[in-house]
Structure 1
Amino acid sequence: MTLLDGITSRIIDTDRLSVNILERSGDSPDTSTDQTIVLVHGNVSSSLFWQELMQDLPAELRVIAIDLRGFGGSEHAPIDATRGVRDFSDDIHAALTALGIDAAHFVGWSLGAGVVMQYALDHRTLSLTLESPVSPFGFGGTRRDGTRLTDDDAGCGGGAANAEFVRRLTERDTTDEAASSPRSVFRSGYVAEGYTTEYEDIWVESMLSTSTATGNYPGDAKTSENWPGFAAGENGVLNTLAPGYFNVSGIVDLDEKPPVLWVHGELDAIVSDASFYDFNHLGALGLVPGWPGEEVAPAQPMVAQTRDVLQRYADGGGKVSELAIPGVGHSPHLERPAEFRRALLELIGYIGAPQDPAPPTEAIILSSSD
């Protein structure tokens, strides 16, 4: 069984596509928007990853986890990457409109954090929780100020996917026999060493729900005269984050700035200033031959970029809280659930938050504008 106790699943039909959502069996559709939380998963995953958090949040809240197109139980419709993540954002808006929800608190993880930032640019949000977020300038191929390294986003997009990992996703490999198997990638990339759970089979099943059909994961690629020889294509998941298509740094100019919570683990192997998923960093390590050097192909400083943009957000009148957790990888909501839960409840102003276990004080960094 992939659904935990008290979690239900249903399909919402919209004018765009059919969207799968998870809910809690006791939640009321009449709950006010200021007590409604929408959870958006990351890449190669689905709403199943949110179940423990859903179980642990107070019963007075309404909690909804949404499957993005091409993941989980949502329709595996192709993704137009030239729109950045707007296909995902528009899908969420269509689903919430069908549910009669005009605003909510949004929690986005990794890719999902990029989606909720895009959603905030396009629609009304009450708060944003960004967990291990993709940089506001996309994934790969930019300098710290967000400027693109090449006009074709060389080294970014669908061509950056590990072909053996894609094959094992397609064949629904549940083993840990190879470093490229989804289970092994979960253990090495999604969480820090030492994390264990009785639900690992469910998390792997969630990863295996990723569609590898044309237009979904990973997406197409183009040849490039620039190192490493490929550039971003025009469809599929990975291309949505190519910096030529994706840039949500415009949140700093929002007239109404929802409060933001940024949560990330200090051992994150995916979103990092030295990401093991960034071709330029791999080139610098000698793992991809022919690297042209730091001046031409520097690693993307992903965390520094996020901090810079959120500081500008705060300087412009927004409220930003940063929770950086030592010893944690890409999935704080799994690895340190009590700390994640408490920070989220404090952000949305839920009265029960002070009763929760306090996280280590050294993990809380405030950079908010008052």
Structure 2
Amino acid sequence: MGQSITFHKADQLKAKPDAGQLGFGKYFTDYMFEMDYSAEEGWHDPRIVPYGPISLDPAATIFHYGQEVFEGLKAYRTEDGRILLFRPDKNMERMNQSCARLNIPEIDEKFVIKAIKKLVAVEKDWIPSQSGQSLYIRPFIIGTDPALGVHPSNTYKLLIILSPVGSYFGNSIHPVKIYVEDEFVRAVKGGVGYAKTSGNYAASLKAQTKSEELGFDQVLWLDGVEHKYIEEVGSMNIFFKIEDEVWTPALNGSILPGVTRNSVIGLLKHWGITVKEKKISVRKLFKKAEKQKLLEVFGTGTAAVISPVGFLKWEDKVIKVGNGEIGELSQKLYDTLTGIQTGKSEDQLGWTQEVKIEKEEVKEKAVDKAEEKAEKKPAVTE
């Protein structure tokens, strides 16, 4: 796609939120990216426009048949002022896998990464710099045909929005309590479990509410056929340290292929640690815990990176993992991944991509510094 991205300047910019009160997904930047698709023109009219509401017909496909996919990644500011993205190529690769399953026209992965970098460069001043903070990036595609009837849309809209977010854990990492769901089903092989689509998350809400009522933070899903094999947590993939090995459920068509999951497996193998992607029965896992062989449990995802699990509940059994705090391996993975993402650690595996600031923006920054220097210079009296 050789199209150029047009820029529509906003009449007025927003006040930046307090960096100490960001939370997750509460604030959005001044601009967003937008691009449209039609059968006649393909993906066309890429543009950066002021952030705001979009107009859709009440009969649009997205409202009635849920034809939608999305992604989530982050931009990080390094101590020396650079801006880094973490493995955006993997996110775009997965987005096309989701598009294929939802019958949405595929995107030009390199072009959308270019669009992300352009948008992030425009919004560089929105990237928070405190420890654990970042700029969350949400690309998504929706079907927009104004017609009822169960069939794929002929028109689509791709949008990218940005949100400055705080540290997932605050000042310290708090292990979560997980409830193993054995009544409701999230996905089955042959369905859309491996796609990042809104329906998967809608299907998880009832069980999530149930787990919170029981005093737990998140749901751990079992397979939809036999209800005995571990799959994933509502918003994370899951890992178990069993003695000197690390186990994680094998991708089977109903589990989301997480980018952080893939990165953790890569790091563990890089360190010489045995990783087994396999079917893991919840009964066998609890037996390992009873024998003191389950040493650590942690989830992986874009939001938290590494989320240690302190407690697991299944039926009438509750197990405490380790001492209920983050384990040594979990901490090492968290420190290494966040170090790579923020430029504090060497990126030996080539996972980061830098967002270059355009010359005009660099020139503008230099002028600002010159003006600041002139203001500080003492006045000369005659």
* TM superposition score normalised by structure 1: 0.28
* Structure showing greater Rg: 2
